[in-house]
Amino acid sequence: MEAVLIDPARTGADKFYVGTVPTPRPRAGEVLVEVRAVALSAWEKGFAQDDDPRSLARRTRRRAVNLGLEFSGVVRSDGRRFTRGRRVMGGTHLTKDEKALAQYVTVREDYLAELPDTLGFPDAAVLPSGAQTALTAFDKAPAPTDVLITGASGGVGVYAVQLAAARGATVTALGGHDAGPA
């Protein structure tokens, strides 16, 4: 299968290339997903900004596909919860799994959610990590009446604002833009 790979010996955008790796095979509790969309996040930004060959070699040595934590796609193998043809969104384990910037990814079924018919693949790919993090925080906290959300323009903050408002809280949101080095 084709995947976006990293050549640690190169720098800048030239370190990324489309290469061929074996199609993964699901283990117990996993399904094979044909990837339709991948969200790029701070995880991928870290690889893009890292031009140190030794650092990149260390970060990429354990797996072939290192990019793509969040994705959406179509299940291509039967599992316990998801069967062939189901539209799903999900994420890979941060440190253990091959990532999803490839034609296929194997993923634990408990890392997946069914994709509603009203949601397209690109929109669904951005939901798993940020939305789940915000939802988990609100589920663990007592119901707030007033909420201050710092980082409201970030990957978790945009969902935290919406969840707080949906739960009836008065929301104060702070966000910004990191323009990088001057």
User: Is there a contact between 14 and 55 (Cβ–Cβ < 8 Å)?
Assistant: no
Mean pLDDT of the chain: 90
Arithmetic mean of pLDDT, 18-35: 96
Arithmetic mean of pLDDT, 6-32: 96
If you ran DSSP here, which 8-state letter would residue 62 be given?
A: T
- The conformational region for residue 25 under phi > 0 = left, psi -120 to 50 = alpha, else beta, is beta
Residue 23 CA to residue 139 CA, distance in Å, equals 37
pLDDT at 178: 58
Arithmetic mean of pLDDT, 16-37: 97
pLDDT at 142: 82
Arithmetic mean of pLDDT, 12-16: 95
pTM of the model: 0.79
Widest distance between CA atoms in the chain: 52
pLDDT at 177: 66
Residue 122 confidence class, pLDDT cut points 50, 70, 90: very high
User: Is there a contact between 43 and 121 (Cβ–Cβ < 8 Å)?
Assistant: no
pLDDT of 182 strictly over 50: no
Q: Where do the structural domains in the chain lie, given as residue ranges?
A: 2-125, 128-174
CATH topology of domain 2-125: Quinone Oxidoreductase; Chain A, domain 1 (3.90.180)
Arithmetic mean of pLDDT, 112-137: 88
User: Is there a contact between 44 and 142 (Cβ–Cβ < 8 Å)?
Assistant: no
If you ran DSSP here, which 8-state letter would residue 115 be given?
A: P
Q: With pLDDT > 90 as the criterion, what percentage of the chain qualifies? A: 65
Residue 181 confidence class, pLDDT cut points 50, 70, 90: low
User: Is there a contact between 8 and 60 (Cβ–Cβ < 8 Å)?
Assistant: yes
Q: List residues bridging with 4 in a β-sheet.
A: 18
pLDDT at 4: 97
pLDDT of 141 strictly over 50: yes
pLDDT at 171: 92
Which tokens in the block code for residue 12?
């800048």
* Max avg pLDDT among 32-41, 150-159, 171-180: 32-41
Q: List residues bridging with 173 in a β-sheet.
A: 149
